[in-house]
Structure 1
């Protein structure tokens, strides 16, 4: 029996502060440790084809300003304590390396997407004490569709849209998928798989420009692969100015907020198994494609 893409996408150090809240942030029984003492997980996608999809669409991310992504939690459930929003945007947080990206597969309106989330220990978008705060989460959702009915054929699954956090929990999108540049897969068909994105302080957008060594994939850990202590910490923590977008309490609301019906215009929810008619559209994604974005109505971010 053919498995649905929905099932594959998973629809079903030194310490300080100890267990005490830090300002308006509350670890709720877990422990804060220095942000640069959190040991990242090695790459660990979900099992099976679902995990292969997580890896296949993992974005390449360029940090054009502000902090690098850092791991938010370690295997023992210790949480990164973040940084005060002082100094320059990258002060104290410019050595994240390959950091960590957290992946979770899901649906909205019966359509399939993969959320990729990045944690930074602080964010500053302008000078002044009310223009930044400790802790920040930013995310990208790659929306995908299966063409054909070969359940184990990963090359039949293509991206049809990309959403990204344009500011805090507000989501933006390009006007068309062709405004996103992609890197091709290393195996199989030469097809668009890894969207190229950039983050500048609190804003994710489409990357434009020539590739260099600074646009990289972050080390992926799947929500399904997190050990229980780490998953519990990301479930229990309460940040004053941000939230973990992929935990059970927040994930579906964020997928729904990121969803755009126009990504799937003309695409039936049930695949047509005709090998000639059921083919993905050609996506022209030149590296220098112009980028415009349309974000949801913006609210003023709260201060630190």
Structure 2
């Protein structure tokens, strides 16, 4: 071989090598994108690590009405207390397995949350309040991960100086509601009965804030009126949530079988089921 001659590379072999390198780079890029997409769309964290939203000062007529009629929730022994379901970054709660009673969910260490959403529906103003629970119960026994319960307080007009409650609807299953048009003083927060039967006296409380109880007797978990005062949770309205939190609540995969009653997909259907008239 003379100095003027040069060794030519094996061109097909070179193309194969370069093709393999490009394929590997493309595969790595696609894998990294998939991992990032999965982390963003299905980010779940431990049930006791979700930081609730602080309750903002109400500004709009809707927000002020929601605060006025904000209810209390009483949790009896043996079941889970309510927990925040999503944080500002859109990370959702992982829930708890449906076993071991109320183990690991007797209190929410970072505080709880009640979610609100309001709008005109037919000719009444509907204020939905919803709570999340990390376990669902059937006849006092935990059955599966994730549970949502809600009530709808129906009022005549939020813009009035003293709006009137027309009716109340309470979750009796995942999608069905028990409706009440007639309310009693004992349904409201602060009501107390003092003394024995013949010498009984009554202490009247609020005329806007109702009190509800989580129940589990002989069937689906449900909400009903409580005989005892409960607790207020920090109220966050749908419009006050971050975009990331709303997107997470709108993703039906984040809570398995449990419907988020105030999500874009389910809100109107739940109001229709809860209609009291």
TM-score under structure 1 length normalisation:
0.67
The alignment status of 1:125 with 2:138, answered yes or no, reads yes
**Which residue pairs with 2:201 in the alignment?**
none
**Which residue pairs with 2:194 in the alignment?**
none
Which has a greater percent of helix?
2
The alignment status of 1:246 with 2:252, answered yes or no, reads no
Aligned residues: 222
- CA RMSD in angstroms comes to 2.6
1:141 aligned to which of 138, 146, 152: 152
Does the C-alpha gap of structure 1 residues 175 and 222 become closer, same or farther in structure 2, counting only changes over 3 Å? closer
Shift of 1:37: 0.4
**Which residue pairs with 2:3 in the alignment?**
none
Map 1:88-107 onto structure 2 (within 5 A). 88=101, 90-96=102-108, 98-107=111-120
CA distance in 2, matches of 1:220, 1:146: 20
Answer with 1 or 2: which has the greater Rg.
2
Contact 2:45/2:92 (<8 A) preserved: yes
CA distance in 1, matches of 2:36, 2:134: 18
**Which residue pairs with 1:42 in the alignment?**
54
2:227 aligned to which of 200, 203, 208: 208
**Which residue pairs with 2:63 in the alignment?**
51
Shift of 1:47: 2.9
- Runs of 4+ in structure 1 deviating by more than 3 angstroms, as ranges, are 18-21
Runs of at least 5 residues in structure 2 that lack an aligned partner in the other structure = 1-34, 191-204
Shift of 1:44: 2.4
**Which residue pairs with 2:21 in the alignment?**
none
Contact 1:67/1:122 (<8 A) preserved: yes
Does the C-alpha gap of structure 1 residues 183 and 169 become closer, same or farther in structure 2, counting only changes over 3 Å? same
1:181 aligned to which of 184, 187, 190: 187
2:163 aligned to which of 151, 157, 165: 157
**Higher RCO by CA contacts (8 Å cutoff, separation 6 or greater):** 1
Shift of 1:178: 2.6
CA distance in 1, matches of 2:107, 2:140: 22
* SS of the residue 1:160 aligns to: strand
Runs of at least 5 residues in structure 1 that lack an aligned partner in the other structure = 1-17, 22-26, 185-189, 262-304
TM-score under structure 2 length normalisation:
0.73
CA-to-aligned-CA distance 1:260-279 (integer Å, 9 cap, x gap): 11xxxxxxxxxxxxxxxxxx
CA distance in 2, matches of 1:126, 1:138: 16
Contact 1:69/1:99 (<8 A) preserved: yes
**Which residue pairs with 1:285 in the alignment?**
none
Shift of 1:19: 8.4
Contact 1:30/1:77 (<8 A) preserved: no
CA distance in 2, matches of 1:139, 1:116: 5
CA distance in 2, matches of 1:31, 1:49: 34
**Which residue pairs with 2:96 in the alignment?**
83
CA distance in 2, matches of 1:20, 1:259: 39
Contact 2:188/2:210 (<8 A) preserved: yes
Map 1:103-118 onto structure 2 (within 5 A). 103-118=116-131
**Which residue pairs with 2:239 in the alignment?**
224
Contact 1:28/1:236 (<8 A) preserved: no
Shift of 1:156: 2.0
CA-to-aligned-CA distance 1:223-266 (integer Å, 9 cap, x gap): 010011111111124233211110111101101110111xxxxx
